[in-house]
Amino acid sequence: MAEDIEEFRELWSGPESGWTLHRSYTVRHKLFVLLGPTPVTVSQLRALRMLPGPLQEVPHRDLKRAIPADGRVLIGEFYGHLVRDVAAKVKHLGLRFEVESLVLDFYLPVNSKTGRSWLIKDAETARRVAERMMAAGMPVVLAEE
């Protein structure tokens, strides 16, 4: 359950307090192989077995049944640029694919005077505190990756 954010009020008490909000982000990519609308071929099944992901471990006799009815097979979730390498392998194997990307933001209150940071473990509370700090005009610093 989200905490009451008033206990964090010193974080937005003004720039003289030294508190800033460090923003970092990561991009999560889901890579899907697209099979169909025609029936799945033996060569497509072989290609799927050459890709990282859950289908590598499925016994050959069960592989066709493991493919969703819509033919959209999740190969995996990848962070950063790793998705490009996997997509290149999918393309090289002659399979069609699509990538869904999601940007995940993270905000960490950091005191620029003391170097102290305040980790808020509850994600919803951390989001509300970050919004309150930004609304109060506290500086936001893009953290280097």
pLDDT per residue as tens digits for the range 103-136: 888 899 999 999 999 999 988 999 999 999 999 9
Average pLDDT, stretch 56-85? 89
Query: Are residues 29 and 99 in contact, defined by beta-carbon separation less than 8 angstroms?
Result: yes
CATH 1.10.287 for domain 27-102 = no
Q: What's the burial of 104, exposed, middle or buried (CB within 10 Å: 0-12/13-18/19+)? A: exposed
Q: In this structure, what is the dihedral angle of CA atoms 46, 50, 55, 59, given to the nearest 10 degrees?
A: 60
Query: Are residues 21 and 144 in contact, defined by beta-carbon separation less than 8 angstroms?
Result: no
Domain boundaries, given as residue ranges, for the chain:
5-25+103-142, 27-102
Distance CA 42, CA 44 (A): 5
Confidence of residue 11 (pLDDT cuts 50, 70, 90): confident
